[in-house]
Each structure stands twice: as structure tokens, then as C-alpha cells.
């Protein structure tokens, strides 16, 4: 997406961040980009997600003095609803694609360049790396839901918070599965539809959870109703990715 796709409030915040990082790193700053929930929303007129804005800054080098200078700006950045920028030497990003294929794959697929040139043109995660990592992500997400539900003690408001917090990881997970199927999108309807076409699992349940990333509001009574089919979906998705392991072991 282009810079114009960002909400004006987000645009102003990342412009401040870009200026600060330019002052700290100078010509060593290669690129600053937005990723995460705010890069999944392409309508600048819509209310931006309430989550802190996630950014990635790729630099030539990263030293203690740079971190100290950034730490001095942390309060200002938080006040503008900015998450602390993910600072990384560019060479480390490229060398770690096979280590963090889901996380870096989502950044490559969904980002908005704030300053510098897009560093990901022609760059992609290898399908086998993405497939193996997505199996881990699916299983981990299902475990998180089970354990998280126990932590709620069955209290409806806590269940609602659990589901809202799970929406962004769920969106990244489905985005990964979509990319494995050759579909590049972050739109909730498309992701849910792809899941249903690929696995036969409910698009309506997936769509409702995905919607929580952009509008993180869920009534406690709806959360109690939504959790069982959501858990069923994740357990069925776990069985689906199990079939990948069986197929690749033959």
C-alpha cells in the first residue's frame, strides 16, 4: 500500500518518527516502514486500529549509542501511539528470512514505506520455510487459546479480551496460509473465504475473529458464544496442517 493509505493521525505520527530516526542514524537509515494492523487497513478515512503503530527501520549499522538516542525519544513515540520501532541492520533481515518466515513474510506482504526505498521488491520467503513455520503457528495459536481460556476462569469479559488479543495473530496466520496458496491479501473477507475454500472450515467464524483486528470491540455474551466454534476451527486447522507433515514424511 502507499503512504496515502495511512490514516492522517498515523501519518503524522510516523512522520515524527521518520524525522527522529533520520536525525539519529543519518545516512545509515535505509528505510522506515509501517507493518502490522495499520498496514492491513487501506482506507485512510476509516478509524485506525487502536493498537500502537508497528514500524520497521532497516539500517546499515546499529550501536549502543543509537539505542540510547532512541530510548530518549521513547516517551514521545508512545504519546503518539507508536510501538517502539523494530530496529534491525538490513543484512540481518535478509539472512533471517528462513528463521522468521511467518513474521518477516507478513512484513514483506503487508507494509507501507514511510521513507526510503522499498527493500522487498523481488524478495520472498521460500514456500517450504513458510509451510513449516505456519504449522508451528497454527499449533501455537490453538494452544494459546486453550491455555488463555483457562486463565480467564470462564469470566465473559476476560474471554472477550482473549479473543480480541488473538485477532492480529490469527490474521497473520491466515495471511500466511493464503500466501502459501498463492493469494496475496490482508482483506478479512478474502482471508476467511480462502480458509473455507482450502479446508472447508467456517468462513463466518474466521471472518468475525478477523474483524476484531480492525474494530477490537466484543460484547462479553458474544465472546462466550464465539469462543467454542473458534476453538473448534483452530483444532480442525491443526488437523489440516498435520496432513502436511504426514504428506512430507512419505
pLDDT band of residue 133 (cuts 50, 70, 90) is: confident
Please tell me whether residues 138 and 242 are part of one structural domain.
Answer: yes
pLDDT band of residue 46 (cuts 50, 70, 90) is: confident
Q: Which residues have C-beta within 8 Å of that of residue 150, sequence separation ≥ 6?
A: none
Residue with the larger pLDDT of the pair 109 and 63: 63
Q: Which of 124, 234, 118, 139 is nearest to 182 (CA)?
A: 124
Question: What does the CA dihedral 155, 156, 161, 167 come to, rounded to 10 degrees?
Answer: 130
Specify the pLDDT at position 105.
87
- The total of structural domains in the chain comes to 2
Specify the pLDDT at position 45.
62
Please tell me whether residues 141 and 206 are part of one structural domain.
Answer: yes
Convert the pLDDT of each residue in 155-202 to its tens digit: 999 999 999 999 999 998 998 888 888 887 778 888 999 889 888 888
CB contact at 8 A, 2 and 112: yes
Q: Is 200 exposed, middle or buried (0-12, 13-18, 19+ CB in 10 A)?
A: exposed
Please tell me whether residues 137 and 103 are part of one structural domain.
Answer: no
Please tell me whether residues 98 and 146 are part of one structural domain.
Answer: no
- Residue 94 in any domain: the answer is yes
* Domain that includes residue 22, residue range: 3-116
pLDDT band of residue 33 (cuts 50, 70, 90) is: very high
Specify the pLDDT at position 179.
84
Please tell me whether residues 112 and 131 are part of one structural domain.
Answer: no
Q: Which of 32, 137, 148 is nearest to 82 (CA)?
A: 32
What CATH number does the domain containing 16 carry? 3.30.460
Compute the mean pLDDT over every residue in the chain, rounded to the nearest whole number. Answer: 90
Residue with the larger pLDDT of the pair 47 and 217: 217
**26-40, 62-76, 161-175, 183-197: lowest mean pLDDT where?**
183-197
pLDDT higher than 60, residue 246: no
- Residue 92 in any domain: the answer is yes
Q: Which residues have C-beta within 8 Å of that of residue 180, sequence separation ≥ 6?
A: 127, 130, 131, 134
Amino acid at each position: 500500500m502507499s503512504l496515502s493509505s495511512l490514516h492522517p493521525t498515523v501519518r503524522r505520527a510516523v512522520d515524527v518518527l521518520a524525522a527522529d530516526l533520520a536525525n539519529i542514524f543519518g545516512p545509515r537509515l535505509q528505510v522506515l516502514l509501517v507493518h502490522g494492523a495499520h498496514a492491513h487497513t487501506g482506507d485512510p478515512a476509516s478509524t485506525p486500529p487502536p493498537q500502537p503503530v508497528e514500524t520497521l527501520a532497516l539500517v546499515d549499522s546499529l550501536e549502543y549509542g543509537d539505542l540510547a538516542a532512541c530510548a530518549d525519544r521513547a516517551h514521545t513515540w508512545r504519546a503518539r501511539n507508536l510501538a517502539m520501532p523494530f530496529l534491525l541492520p538490513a543484512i540481518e533481515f535478509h539472512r533471517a528470512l528462513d528463521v522468521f518466515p511467518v513474521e518477516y513474510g507478513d512484513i514483506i506482504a503487508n507494509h507501507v514505506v514511510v521513507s526510503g526505498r522499498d527493500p522487498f521488491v523481488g524478495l520472498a520467503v521460500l514456500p517450504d520455510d513458510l509451510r513449516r513455520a505456519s504449522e508451528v503457528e497454527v499449533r501455537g495459536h490453538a494452544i494459546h487459546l486453550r491455555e488463555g481460556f483457562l486463565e480467564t476462569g470462564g469470566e465473559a469479559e476476560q474471554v472477550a479480551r482473549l479473543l480480541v488479543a488473538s485477532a492480529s495473530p490469527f490474521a497473520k496466520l491466515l495471511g500466511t496460509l493464503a500466501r502459501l496458496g498463492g493469494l496475496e491479501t490482508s482483506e478479512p473477507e478474502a482471508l476467511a473465504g480462502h480458509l473455507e475454500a482450502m479446508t472447508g472450515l467456517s468462513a463466518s467464524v474466521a471472518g468475525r475473529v478477523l474483524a476484531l483486528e480492525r474494530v477490537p470491540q466484543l460484547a462479553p455474551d458474544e465472546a462466550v458464544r464465539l469462543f467454542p466454534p473458534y476453538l473448534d476451527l483452530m483444532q480442525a486447522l491443526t488437523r489440516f496442517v498435520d496432513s502436511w507433515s504426514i504428506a512430507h514424511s512419505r
